[in-house]
């Protein structure tokens, strides 16, 4: 019997048209998008399906991504009867994992990430912060290089050979030079609107905690993995503090996957736009089944389960 994890991508995977077939061809998918529109006060289908300049702006991206992934997940569960044993999500995707685990309602997840997106967008003036992807250099060496540098830190441990750093722009650029000298194959500045998952967003995390005080959370029905600790969370009382810290802490994605692997998870279903997490998985292990659900027709892939 397969042990199944639902995993959800984060910001950056969005594209115009994501989830459109779920909206147009399933009643449940349409209901979730329309509910999100009512909650947020703007048309989420228009945001996701029509060319516009908002989809890549953080305060809109986050709500669009979470609505889309949740719609895909609920249709998958309803039409195929597939249920997860555990859940995890990369950064923003952790809110979809919370919904999958029954920690937060779908509606609260969507509302909360809208506020999260606004707070993260406004946290640091444009041009002050930066992020960079460091390729083909091990985590230990990167940690060593950054250890005596202020204003820059690891934002994402994605997979072997791909780590993202974040912080003050000038410090990130200086770190890139040092990391290339230390053996990195490439150091690529990312086209992002802020230094996410760095200490520069500590204030945004504190403000998010105030938002979370008004959100109801429950004990997880299934364990989910926290980005901050890369460990299972099984108590609702821990959730809000972890989500606060997640905004300005490293996302330990590789370690999160390793936690699930050690628990016997052998089937990972990535639910949401793109195949980012499936790509990371290939570099972490090839000894598991990996499926991706981003089109309605992808549900047929799961007939083997």
Q: Residue 303: which pLDDT band, with cuts at 50, 70 and 90?
A: confident
Q: Which string of b and e fits 285-298 if b means at least 16 CB within 10 Å?
A: eeebebbbbbbbeb
Kindly report, residue by residue over 189-241, the tens digit of the pLDDT. 998 888 999 999 999 999 999 999 999 999 999 999 999 999 999 999 999 99
Quote the CA–CA distance of 167 and 135 in Å, as a whole number. 18
Instruction: Given the residues 69, 91, 166, 198, select the one marked as catalytic.
Output: 91
Q: Catalogue all structural domains in the chain, each as residue range(s) with its CATH number.
A: 4-124+199-304 (3.40.366.10), 129-189 (3.30.70.250)
Across the beta sheet with 267-271, the strand order is 232-233, 224-225, 86-89, 4-8, 267-271, 289-293
Annotated catalytic residue 226: no
DSSP-assigned beta bridge partners for residue 133: 164, 188
Instruction: Given the residues 69, 166, 197, 226, select the one marked as catalytic.
Output: 197
Q: Residue 82: which pLDDT band, with cuts at 50, 70 and 90?
A: very high
- Residue 116 in 3-state DSSP? helix
Annotated catalytic residue 69: no
Answer whether 0.95 is exceeded by the pTM.
yes
């Amino acid at each position: 019997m397969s042990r199944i994890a639902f995993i959800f991508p984060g910001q950056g995977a969005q594209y115009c048209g994501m989830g459109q077939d779920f909206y147009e061809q399933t009643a449940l998918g349409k209901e979730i998008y329309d509910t999100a529109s009512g909650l947020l006060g703007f048309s989420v289908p228009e945001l996701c399906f029509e060319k516009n300049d908002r989809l890549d702006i953080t305060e809109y991206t986050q709500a669009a991504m979470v609505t889309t992934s949740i719609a895909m997940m609920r249709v998958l569960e309803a039409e195929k009867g597939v249920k997860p044993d555990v859940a995890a999500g990369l950064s923003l995707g952790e809110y979809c994992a919370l919904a999958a685990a029954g920690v937060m309602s779908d509606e609260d997840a969507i509302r909360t990430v809208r506020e999260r997106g606004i707070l993260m967008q406004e946290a640091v003036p444009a041009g002050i912060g930066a992020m960079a992807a460091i390729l083909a250099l091990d985590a230990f060496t990167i940690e060593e290089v950054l250890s005596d540098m202020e204003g820059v830190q690891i934002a994402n441990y994605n997979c072997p050979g791909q780590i993202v750093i974040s912080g003050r722009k000038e410090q990130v650029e200086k770190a890139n030079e040092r990391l290339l000298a230390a053996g990195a194959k490439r150091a690529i500045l990312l086209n992002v609107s802020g230094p996410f998952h760095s200490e520069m967003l500590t204030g945004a995390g504190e403000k998010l905690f105030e938002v979370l005080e008004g959100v109801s959370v429950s004990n997880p029905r299934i364990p989910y993995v926290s980005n901050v600790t890369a460990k299972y969370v099984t108590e609702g009382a821990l959730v809000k503090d972890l989500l606060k810290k997640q905004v300005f802490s490293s996302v330990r994605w590789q370690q999160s996957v390793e936690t699930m692997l050690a628990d016997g998870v052998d089937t990972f279903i990535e639910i949401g736009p793109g195949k980012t997490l499936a790509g990371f998985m290939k570099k972490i292990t090839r000894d598991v089944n990996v499926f991706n659900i981003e089109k309605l027709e992808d549900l047929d892939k799961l007939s083997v389960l």
